[in-house]
Amino acid sequence: MSDRIKEKLEILADAAKYDVSCSSSGSNRKNKDHGLGNTGAGICHTYTEDGRCVSLLKILLTNHCIYDCAYCVSRKSNDIKRAAFTVQEVVDLTINFYRRNYIEGLFLSSGIFKDADFTMERLVLIAKKLRREHNFNGYIHLKTIPAASPELIHEAGLYADRLSINLEIPTDAGLKLLAPEKNRKDMIRPMTYLKDQLIKTKEEGKLFKTTPKFAPAGQSTQLIIGASGESDQQIITAANYFYNKFNMKRVYYSGYVPISYDKRLPTIGTAVPTARENRLYQSDWLMRFYGFQADEIVNESHPLLDLDIDPKLSWALRNMDRFPIDINKDDYQLILRVPGIGVGSAQKIVAARKFGPLHIEHLRKIGVAINRAKYFISCKGFLQIYADKRADLIKSYILNSSKSKYTSSTTQQLQLF
């Protein structure tokens, strides 16, 4: 018995690992009636050897699937070991892992067996059992199965903290090529339903304290990077669209890990585009926390992100006329635009300058990366250096004064051309 559960766990955790989301924050479910668990601490309980956070028990209910999406390891035509958990097995694993402080909760997804509703029903049943029978108040993230009925999605929202549907392929053309059986509309419909429900619950919550929680950590989605030849502009534009149109809490970017000899995809052995993935996350942060518009980061004349420098520095070099920023006078929003100054440093600068003008030494102690910032700022006793030099020269000065962790991967790319 215990050997079979060990094997199942290995198969179904392995199959779930390409879903990069492992967030457990954004919800503040309290421990109620002396029960088990609460939510909101956003803790990573360990990290895998690839450096990713492990916060949740992330598994598939089953990896049996009626679909044959080329990019997916669980596709019907793939010759792999198949397994399925029972509802009770998932509940027991979650509770016992949680009680030992291994995890913040459960992230449950599934291959689609029989049909969408049949699969969705079982996911909901597990969440319901955890909440109702075990008074479990830890985090639950459920995958919404495309084309599942609104009633089931609604019920899922009553028990889960977060719901998500992965778009996976950023472009319609790519989806048609790689997952011809899948229909973009089947994914968009539940997203729209969730967005409306989330807004409705929020408004009702303002009026009635007793309004039941509905997916308090909102909805998220994932885009696979580097499987269908899409440009960074297409990815960032898609992400921006989903943030604005569907109030997404997060859009995740997952560098494609080759798992197939399918001619339509990068072959096995191709490097995972981790540098590009990192630049996309930096761009995502610029949009969410730094007040950047999507088209400031990528646009028709600049459709690809630089791999050798971060997108904020790249924007600054393309807009040298916007600098220097005066550290002691300019607004917070402008200080945020300076390469080498993050949100934390910008807040400290704005607080500290009330006590007196800041010098370059102050900035260094606050934690500003002076080697980059010095080309874009002025402050007490310091003028922007090389204000008259061309952007490409400044770029080379910066690259020479720092060592990127991606140096080897970018030089490899350059050699191709």
Partner 1 sequence: MREVDLYFDGTWEGILTSIFEMFEYKIMPLSLSHTAARQKGMFQTAHDVVSQQDKADRVKKGLIEKIGRNGYLELWHAFLSELPDVPLLIIRLARHYFQSEQPERLNFGHDLVLRLKKIVKSVSRERHRMKAFARFQRLQDGLFVALIEPDFNVLPLIRKHFQDRYADQRWLIFDIRRHYGLYYDEHTTSEVTFADPGNLANSRTLVDLYAADEPLYADLWKRYFKSVNIVERKNMKLHLQHVPRRYWRHLHEKSFGLDA
Can you give the binding site for partner 1, defined by CB under 8 A?
2, 5-6, 9-11, 13-14, 16-18, 30-31, 34-38, 41, 43-54, 57-58, 93, 96-97, 99-102, 135, 255, 257-258, 272, 274, 348-349, 351-356, 358, 362, 365-366
Question: Minimal distance in Å, beta carbon 220 to partner 1?
Answer: 18
CB of 62 to partner 1, least distance (A): 16
**Residue closer to partner 1, measured from CB, 208 or 355:** 355
Q: How many CB atoms lie within 10 A of CB 334?
A: 16
Kindly give, in sequence order, each residue whose CB lies less than 8 Å from that of residue 356, ignoring residues fewer than 6 positions away. Answer: none
221 phi and psi, to 5 degrees? -150, 170
Shortest Å, Cβ 311 to partner 1: 21
DSSP 334: H
Angle at 178 between CA 295 and CA 115, to 5 degrees: 110
Residue 151: half-sphere exposure toward Cβ, Cα within 13 Å = 3
Q: Which amino acid is at 276?
A: R
Asked whether the beta carbons of 134 and 105 are under 8 A apart, the reply is no
The distance of Cα 6 from the centroid of its chain, to the nearest Å, equals 29
CB 82 within 8 Å of CB 63? yes
Residue placing its CB nearer to partner 1 in the complex, 47 or 332 = 47
Handedness of CA 326, 330, 336, 342 (dihedral sign): positive
DSSP letter at 84 equals B
Cβ 170 to partner 1 shortest distance, Å: 20
Decide whether 88 or 319 has the Cβ nearer to partner 1. Answer: 88
CA distance 395 to 313: 9
Nearer to partner 1, 99 or 132 (CB): 99
Least distance in angstroms from the C-beta of 397 to partner 1: 27
Q: Cβ distance 86 to 137 under 8 Å?
A: no
Measured from the CB atom, is 29 or 122 closer to partner 1?
29
Write down the least CB distance from residue 135 to partner 1, Å. 8
Instruction: Choose between 190 and 226: whose C-beta lies nearer to partner 1.
Output: 226
Nearer to partner 1 by C-beta: 31 or 231?
31
Nearer to partner 1, 234 or 345 (CB): 345
Q: In 3-state terms, what secondary structure has residue 257? A: coil
Q: Which is nearer to partner 1, 143 or 362 (CB)?
A: 362
For the chain, state the CA radius of gyration: 24
Q: How far is the CB of 60 from partner 1 (least distance, A)?
A: 11
Q: CA separation (Å) from 27 to 20, 42, 130, 219, 410?
A: 19, 9, 17, 12, 39
Smallest separation (angstroms) from partner 1 to the CB of 126: 17
Shortest Å distance, C-beta 97 to partner 1: 7
Beta bridge partners of 58: 107
Helix (H, G, I), strand (E, B) or coil at 60: strand
